[in-house]
Amino acid sequence: MPRSKNPETSKSTSTAATKAAKAPKATKATNGAPPAKGDGDGDLLQRQHEAMQQLAAARPFNELKAGEHGRDPALQPQAGTPVEPADESATASSVRETVVSIKLGSQAQPGHNPGNESLDRVRVDSGGQALTTNQGVRVADNQNSLKAGLRGPTLLEDFILREKITHFDHERIPERVVHARGSAAHGYFECYDPLDQLTMAAPFAAAGKRTPVFVRFSTVAGERGSFDTARDVRGFAVKFYTDDGNWDLVGNNIPVFFIQDAMKFPDLVHALKPEPHHAMPQAASAHDTFWDFVSLMPESAHMLMWVMSDRAIPRSYRMMQGFGVHTFRLVNAAGESKLCKFHWSPRAGTHSLVWDEAVKISGADPDFHRRDLWEAIEAGSFPEWELGLQIFDEEQAENFRFDVLDPTKIVPEELVPLLPVGRLVLNRNPDNFFAETEQVAFCTAHIVPGIDFTNDPLLQGRIHSYVDTQLTRLGGPNFHEIPINASIAQVHNNQRDGLHRQAIHRGSVSYEPNSLAGGCPFQAGRAGGGFVSIPTPFPATGEGDKLRGKPERFADHFSQATLFWRSQSEPEQRHIAGAFRFELSKVQVPAVRERVVSLLANVDAGLAAAVAEGLGFAVPAPQPRALEPAVESELDSSPALSLLARPGDGGVQTRRVALLVVDGADLASLRAAQTALREAGATPRFVGPRIGPLGADESMAIEMSFEQAPSVLWDAVVLANDAAAARPLSMYGQALDFVKDQYRHCKPILALGGPGGLLAAVNLPLMLPEGEADPGLFVCAPPSETDPALRTDADTVTAFIAGLARHRHFERETDPPRV
């Protein structure tokens, strides 16, 4: 017989679906053309390509950009406008997503995350089923390991034994640093009356509305295996699974705390925990380090009064109060806020143990509170608390003789009476302690629209700390996908990957803004129910201290891009245009290419034209600017922005120079060039067809071969270009490519032995296109008969070294290359 649906979950999910229906209506990405058609497999990729083009073309620019700057947009963020694809393949990961199987299932349901469905999706019942491995293989014998004979050794191949033992060895996870020992239960929060004048938080939206909750009670100091009745603060953490996401009200059974600032939290816990030299005492504050610390922290006095009172030894979790501890803000739909403190008052009243009882119970039943909670729920005596709010404004807060941001202070109920707003009922125990109670992750940063933080310095630290601890305890950033932590509100964002990722996201897009996914998921904006922090006014300026926005002058996106372009040399500008052309030629969606060029049109018309020409389309109209009129930079150009503005000290230290040689080359000329380069600080190496001695002279050898040392690894080249070497070198394609690449890359070239040889073999021009001499090409005349000992032109080698100091000679660069 099928189980009935949880009425609370169904009701909340239905409300969430209603909210989803109010999302901005998607426009259809037709781009003026009907959807692409095609039934054969050969048409699938074409259909996808055309659909992606239509989708991208529907968003020629980011229409939200102009509204990102200034105070007003920060308070009223705009909602994104999704674009519905003309063909669903436009946003698919693969055109083969229609292939189905009992494992694959079918295609993703549009706009739906099944990870936010009820816990029924992960509940397991093995009634009537055979035992299997974790891979689903049925286990024939669960009594014996696989052995070599009945009395022989156990075999390593016993994968069933190994899986079982390995899983067992890893069943425990790190316990919480504090609040390690706890007990929990499921239930609901029921609102008495709508609080729309105070807050737009979903749990308070309507009379009788029930929001599913999971509540965990805990001790603070003790480890996971400690006892329940220690004198200690008790954690009282409530996870509301609201229509607008999870809200965690992470409080205690005492309304104040030991410290005022999160900076001291590690010190407090280190002092409270068992002393590190002998790890005693367990779950107790009655030891030297704790009292040493608090006696030097006078702000702890108030908390010490509470902890030494009977509130620190409650009779039952069902019979203790709960408090949010900090001052929070409630925010209504108009953006108006009030300060608030949260109080849970038990229907069973507040009752405690006496110390002698607590000590004796810890020996008789260490699980006293856990058992009491479990048995009460099993018996149908559901624990219940009333939620009361203390509501006050800044003016009232200023008149108090204490600071409401100080977590060591309460707001007495006589000053601000409690407003009862709803009841908390726990009516179901967990199915599995580890999966639910142990893996649940509470965090003060988990709030929803209608709730906001204050500047309480302890609260601000907790906002970070509670998330941070789960990364270690639960194995990474995806702890929100553990079923007990998953919200019932649909989760759609661009967070990806990480350990233990469960969601399988469809499509290629994991960023916003985008056009390739129709702009989805899009920002909700304020009108769409998106969370907006409330700005706390500074009296001196009237500005808010919490704004998601940018100053107006941030809206100038192009003036310094233009300044950078104008400051580049002609070769650098060619390189920039070429880089854009290369990158965009790899882009498969034409609309994206055109959008980039329309962006560049706001930088420089010449740049946009050069890029568009290389991509085969006319320059589109410039994108609308976020700020009009256009801002002009203070400078027309800044020479310091060019790489060429910093040529260095003119030296050639560490520059790598290849000396291309072969057997029979004029070694005296090569040696002279090598010596001059070394003396200048360069690193010359002989490169040739094979490594080894050069002819009979074993003092000179080829150190690197063409295969291991291609042209791109060298800053310059010296060619053995005399008649005896040039012809055999020109027989090697690697040598010809070496010279071509050195020329194309505008590196210095020194030819020993004249202008022919290898230079002629690759048709290397000796002059620039304008007829001027190439400043990076150096040619030594054939060996001199008048000075056979030198056999090279020292002045030319000196000029080559000076050319090497320049690194490159862009004067010879052409597009396309001449060689």
On whether both 465 and 536 belong to a single domain, the answer is no
> Do 348 and 451 belong to one domain?
yes
- CATH (domain of 221): 2.40.180.10
Residue-level pLDDT at 191: 98
What is the rounded distance in angstroms from the CA atom of residue 707 to the CA atom of residue 701? 16
- Decide which of 550, 576, 591 is a domain's last residue: 550
Decide if pLDDT at 546 tops 80: no
Question: Which among 581, 573, 576, 572 has a CA at the least distance from the CA of 614?
Answer: 581
For residue 345, is pLDDT > 90?
Answer: yes
* 681 and 715 belong to one structural domain: yes
Q: What is the pLDDT of residue 68?
A: 86
What is the torsion angle, in degrees rounded to the nearest 10, for the CA atoms of residue 154, residue 160, residue 163 and residue 165?
A: -50
In a domain, 4, yes or no: no
Q: Which of 691, 725, 726 is nearest to 707 (CA)?
A: 691
pLDDT of amino acid 543:
56
Same structural domain for residues 208 and 355?
A: yes
Under DSSP, the state recorded for 433 is I
Structural domain boundaries enclosing 704:
656-812
Q: Residues 281, 215: one domain?
A: yes
AA identity, residue 661: V
Q: Does residue 122 belong to any structural domain of this protein?
A: no
pLDDT of the residue at 762: 94
Number of domains composing the chain: 4
Token representation of residue 58: 């529907």
* 640 domain residue, yes or no: yes
Cα distances (Å, whole numbers) of residue 286 to 276, 289, 367, 696: 15, 9, 21, 90
User: What's this model's pTM, rounded to 2 decimal places?
Assistant: 0.86
Q: Has residue 586 got a pLDDT over 50? A: yes
Q: What is the mean pLDDT of the chain?
A: 90
Are 437 and 546 found together in one domain?
A: no
What's the full length of the chain, in residues?
Answer: 819
Same structural domain, 350 and 454: yes
With a cut of 90, say whether residue 9 has pLDDT above it. no
Residue 166 lies in a domain: no
Measured between alpha carbons, how far is 305 from 296 in angstroms, rounded to an integer?
A: 16
Catalytic residues: 179, 252
Domain boundary among 410, 439, 473: 473
- Tell me if 2 is assigned to some domain: no
pLDDT band at 17, cuts 50/70/90? very low
For residue 700, give the CATH number of its domain: 3.40.50.880
Rounded Cα gap, residues 440 and 248, in angstroms: 11
**Could you tell me the two tokens for 777?**
């090409």
Under the banding of pLDDT at 50, 70 and 90, the label for residue 598 is very high
What separation in angstroms does the CA of 549 have from each of 73, 74, 124, 534? Answer: 7, 5, 47, 13
Provide the token pair at 318. Answer: 């069902």
Same domain membership, residue 724 and residue 636: no
544 pLDDT higher than 80: no
Is 93 domain-assigned? no
Going 729 to 731 to 735 to 737, the CA torsion angle's sign is positive
CA distances from 710 to 163, 290, 688, 694, 765 (A): 51, 69, 10, 20, 22
For residues 733-757, average pLDDT: 95
Q: What percent of the chain has pLDDT over 90?
A: 77
Q: What amino acid occupies position 455?
A: N
Contact 496, 452 (CB under 8 A): no
Shared domain for 316 and 440, answered yes or no, is yes
> Of 568, 614, 570, 567, nearest to 812 (Cα)?
570
Examine the domain organization and report whether 569 and 619 are in the same domain. Answer: yes
Task: Report the CATH number that the domain containing residue 582 is assigned in CATH.
Answer: 1.20.1370.20
Question: Is 597 contained in some domain?
Answer: yes
Determine the 3-state secondary structure of 754 from DSSP: coil
289 and 366 belong to one structural domain: yes
Whether residues 679 and 694 fall in one domain: yes
Last residue of some domain: 473, 506, 538? 473
> Is 401 inside any structural domain?
yes
- Angle at alpha carbon of residue 38, lines to 33 and 41, rounded to 5°: 140
